[in-house]
Structure 1
Amino acid sequence: MTKFLLALHLIFAVFAVGPLVHAATTAGRGIRKADAAATASSARMLRIYGIASALVIISGIVLMYRSRSGEYGIQGYSALSVYRGPPHFGEFSQTWIWLSIVLWALAIALVLFVLVPTLNRATKLIAEGETVGALTGRVAGAGGVVGVLFVVIVVLMVYRPGQ
């Protein structure tokens, strides 16, 4: 069951976070081209994938608790021990886990409270024939920060500092 949960966690990361980061980092293109359909599409994708990215967090928490529960017999043995007991994926007290969750929350806040409203505003302004050049910097900057935050999360997940 642990391997299934790990696979599910990685699948959610690839198919929810990947499109989210892509949409966040390319959303400014619709504003630069004054394309209302593109900005509306970007806002919709960011909203959907931002919410779907919670599945990565949920599956990671379930995986962490499942690996601690002694599913394979003896609780507390790591995958690197002599006894091949349950793999231990971490605890909330470890820096790489709580910091990853904080960074994810920050990224999603940027997506849902900065990018999506700005893109919706741009869509409305473009439809009314107004200029939206002033919004390009906000969208490009926030999208870039979201991309960097998810890169940092991946680095934390791979290197697990403090473990």
Structure 2
Amino acid sequence: MTKFLLSVHVLAAILAIGPITVAASMFPRFVRTPDADGDGPPGQNLRTAGLLHRVCRGYTVLGVAVPVFGVATGARLGVLTDAWLLASVALTAAAAALLLLVILPGQQRLLPPPAAAVAVAVAGDGAAESRRAGAARLAMVTGVFNLLWAAVVVLMIVRPGSTTGA
């Protein structure tokens, strides 16, 4: 049963957290300039940013499986009180808080209402500088989010101080 739980935990991390980190990292580039770089129709970049936001939201729901199966695996292995696991849990909680309280709301704020996306791209909305600044802040927070997940992965592999191997 432990191998099954660990397998589901790792697969959930790859299939749920991976797309969030990629989509969240790409979002600021597309929202920064509402119009495609002359190659696409007006508002194409904003539509792409909207799609990336929906990916982040959707996979966030699936991402709940990662800590659920992680705790179940830790319980089966008897490592729930190990320092490396507690540090991983704290970093996961910080990453989740960033995603839920900063990244997703920040993405939502930077997106115009769907009906206005083409108008914003064609005519401009007078808030281009504000959008660029917001996108830059969001890119920074997303970078921190990604670093937190990288640290969790390292802790899960290295398991410093663990007596269960590795």
Same-fold status (TM-score > 0.5): yes
Partner Cα distance (2:132, 2:69) in 1: 40
Number of the residue aligned with 1:47: 57
Number of the residue aligned with 2:10: 10
Partner Cα distance (1:111, 1:42) in 2: 14
Q: Counterparts of 1:25-104 in structure 2 under 5 Å?
A: 25-34=25-34, 35-68=45-78, 90-91=79-80, 93-104=81-92
1 or 2, which has the higher helix percentage?
Answer: 2
The offset of 1:32, in angstroms, is 2.3
The offset of 1:11, in angstroms, is 0.7
Which amino acid counterpart does residue 53 of structure 2 have in structure 1? A
Partner Cα distance (1:13, 1:36) in 2: 28
Offset from partner CA, 1:41-69 (integer Å, 9 cap, x none):
2222222222322211100111122334x
Checking the alignment, whether the CA contact within 8 Å between 1:13 and 1:56 is kept in structure 2 is yes
Partner Cα distance (2:55, 2:87) in 1: 26
Identity %: 33
Number of the residue aligned with 1:113: 101
Partner Cα distance (2:30, 2:101) in 1: 19
Partner Cα distance (2:86, 2:137) in 1: 28
Number of the residue aligned with 1:76: none
Question: Number of aligned pairs?
Answer: 141
The offset of 1:118, in angstroms, is 1.5
Offset from partner CA, 1:48-92 (integer Å, 9 cap, x none):
222322211100111122334xxxxxxxxxxxxxxxxxxxxx22x
Checking the alignment, whether the CA contact within 8 Å between 2:110 and 2:135 is kept in structure 1 is no
The offset of 1:110, in angstroms, is 1.2
Partner Cα distance (1:143, 1:124) in 2: 20
The offset of 1:16, in angstroms, is 0.7
TM-score (norm 1): 0.78
Which amino acid counterpart does residue 87 of structure 2 have in structure 1? L
The offset of 1:33, in angstroms, is 2.7
Structure 2 unmatched runs, 5+: 35-44
Q: Look up the SS of the partner of 1:27 in the other structure.
A: helix
RMSD: 1.7
Number of the residue aligned with 1:143: 142
The offset of 1:8, in angstroms, is 0.9
